[in-house]
């Protein structure tokens, strides 16, 4: 395994990880993704996280039968190949793995939520068959596919929305299709090797003739040892002047359903799906309590923009959420599926923080942040916390 090789006679005056893997588990999709995640984790956290970090240990457990890892805090340590990659090939290596992780057919459910109330928006009557109107069936979302692939440093996304129908036959279902292209050379596009990415403006300076909002997109991937790769895709506009949500929040909850085929895998429709939008909103009780930050992964893109003064300005100390994370119209939306969207400024009304997140029943909190200061993007990062 290249991530475990040592470069002889090279020394660094930093902390370093030594990983000794005795047995690699049988090759498989989960194992390959776990190894990819381990690489990505070490690339961004090797000098900032304990070897007992829960997320790090979880990745190793998925791909290794027996491992030993040591943290060497001495002033001089033998240089691991991972550090060589970080220094010389970080962007290229991450882009290759990101492409492997994000490419494919992503099947799931799409819903939109009102920025004032957080309630799911009902499907317009014009998109419903007459039978649904007669039966008083009111869907709040759509079955959907996102077909994704990287070509010529562009991320291609074909969104296929399956309209509610009384038929399951692919020849009779109705599709709405949109195609998006994301320029990977754009400063505002950043990514992680597991397929997570974020897209948004780099500068918040707006011309008087410009539209009153900027669009943001977050793709938050979740690794599971038993299910297909799963992710949450958030898309929403933000009123930059008022530092609040400007319009509906669109959310996809989806899993990878196969190799990329540009939507040709759609063979039938479900007719009608309730989806996650019919669940109860994220309860405050899941957030209340003491949280321990486990790791922070800073996203980078092909174009570098981070301000080095604030890149690592993240507090790793435990913090308490005590009924102070509440729904607030256009600022904090607690949504079904145990997810949320948050848009606010700091205590002094300066800067802008845009955040999405997911909280599990087992006490794991993954949050995705874009941080702005002086109208400039200074950091995009993903934080993982746990309750103990």
Torsion of CA 191, 195, 196, 199, to 10 degrees: 50
Regarding beta strands 339-344 and 352-359, do their DSSP bridges make them parallel or antiparallel, or are they unpaired?
antiparallel
269 or 379: which leads in pLDDT: 379
Instruction: Choose among 258, 229, 256: nearest CA to 62.
Output: 229
State pLDDT tens for residues 30-55.
455 555 566 666 655 554 555 566 66
* Amino acid 167: pLDDT: 66
Residue with tokens 């475990």: 4
Q: 42's torsion region: left (phi>0), alpha (psi -120 to 50) or beta?
A: alpha
* Amino acid 171: pLDDT: 57
137 or 27: which leads in pLDDT: 137
Mean pLDDT (whole number) for 103-132? 93
* Amino acid 74: pLDDT: 39
Domain ranges of the chain: 2-88, 100-278, 284-387
Share of the chain above pLDDT 90, in %: 41
pLDDT tier, 374 (very low <50, low <70, confident <90, very high otherwise): confident
* Amino acid 353: pLDDT: 94
Torsion of CA 250, 238, 364, 361, to 10 degrees: -50
User: Picking from 210-224, 228-242, 257-271, 331-345, which range would have the lowest pLDDT averaged per residue?
Assistant: 257-271
Instruction: Choose among 199, 255, 191, 189: nearest CA to 222.
Output: 255
* Amino acid 49: pLDDT: 54
In this structure, are residues 230 and 358 in contact, taking their beta carbons and an 8 Å threshold?
no
pLDDT tier, 140 (very low <50, low <70, confident <90, very high otherwise): very high
- The whole-chain average pLDDT of the chain stands at 77
Residue with tokens 């308490």: 320
pLDDT tier, 211 (very low <50, low <70, confident <90, very high otherwise): confident
pLDDT tier, 272 (very low <50, low <70, confident <90, very high otherwise): low
CATH 3.30.70.2390 is the classification of domain 100-278: no
Residue 283 has pLDDT above 70, yes or no: yes
311 or 320: which leads in pLDDT: 320
Q: How far apart are CA 158 and CA 177, in angstroms?
A: 7
State pLDDT tens for residues 287-302.
999 999 888 887 766 6
Residue with tokens 């403006």: 201
Measured distance between the N- and C-terminal CA atoms of the chain, rounded to whole angstroms:
34
pLDDT tier, 231 (very low <50, low <70, confident <90, very high otherwise): very high
- Two tokens at 22? 């005795």
User: Picking from 35-39, 68-72, 252-256, 274-278, which range would have the lowest pLDDT averaged per residue?
Assistant: 68-72
Share of the chain above pLDDT 70, in %: 66
pLDDT tier, 89 (very low <50, low <70, confident <90, very high otherwise): very low
């Amino acid at each position: 395994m290249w991530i475990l090789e040592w470069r002889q006679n090279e020394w660094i005056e930093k902390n370093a990880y030594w990983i000794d893997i005795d047995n690699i588990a049988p090759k498989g999709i989960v194992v390959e993704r776990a190894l990819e995640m381990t690489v990505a984790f070490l690339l961004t956290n090797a000098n900032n996280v304990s070897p007992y970090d829960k997320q790090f240990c979880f990745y190793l457990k998925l791909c290794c039968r027996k491992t030993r890892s040591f943290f060497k805090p001495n002033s001089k340590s033998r240089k691991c190949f991972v550090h060589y990659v970080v220094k010389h090939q970080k962007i290229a290596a991450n882009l290759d793995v990101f492409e492997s992780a994000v490419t494919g057919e992503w099947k799931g459910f799409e819903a939109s939520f009102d920025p004032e109330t957080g309630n799911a928006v009902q499907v317009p009557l014009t998109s419903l068959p007459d039978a649904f109107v007669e039966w008083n069936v009111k869907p709040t979302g759509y079955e959907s596919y996102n077909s994704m692939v990287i070509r010529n440093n562009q991320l291609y996304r074909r969104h296929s929305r399956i309209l509610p129908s009384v038929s399951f036959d692919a020849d009779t279902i109705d599709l709405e299709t949109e195609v998006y292209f994301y320029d990977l050379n754009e400063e505002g596009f950043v990514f992680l090797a597991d397929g997570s990415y974020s897209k948004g403006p780099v500068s918040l300076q707006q011309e008087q003739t410009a539209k009153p909002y900027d669009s943001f997109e977050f793709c938050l991937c979740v690794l599971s040892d038993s299910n297909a790769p799963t992710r949450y895709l958030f898309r929403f506009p933000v009123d930059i002047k008022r530092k609040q949500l400007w319009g509906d929040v669109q959310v996809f909850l989806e899993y990878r359903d196969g190799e990329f085929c540009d939507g040709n895998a759609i063979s039938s429709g479900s007719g009608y799906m309730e989806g996650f939008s019919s669940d109860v909103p994220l309860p405050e009780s899941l957030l209340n309590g003491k949280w321990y930050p486990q790791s922070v992964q800073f996203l980078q893109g092909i174009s570098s923009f981070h301000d080095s003064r604030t890149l690592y300005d993240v507090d790793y100390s435990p913090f308490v959420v005590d009924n102070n994370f509440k729904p607030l119209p256009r600022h904090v939306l607690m949504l079904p599926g145990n997810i949320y969207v948050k848009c606010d400024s700091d205590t002094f009304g300066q800067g802008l923080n845009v955040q999405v997140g997911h909280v599990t029943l087992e006490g794991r909190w993954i949050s995705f942040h874009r941080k702005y200061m002086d109208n400039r993007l200074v950091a995009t990062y993903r934080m993982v916390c746990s309750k103990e």
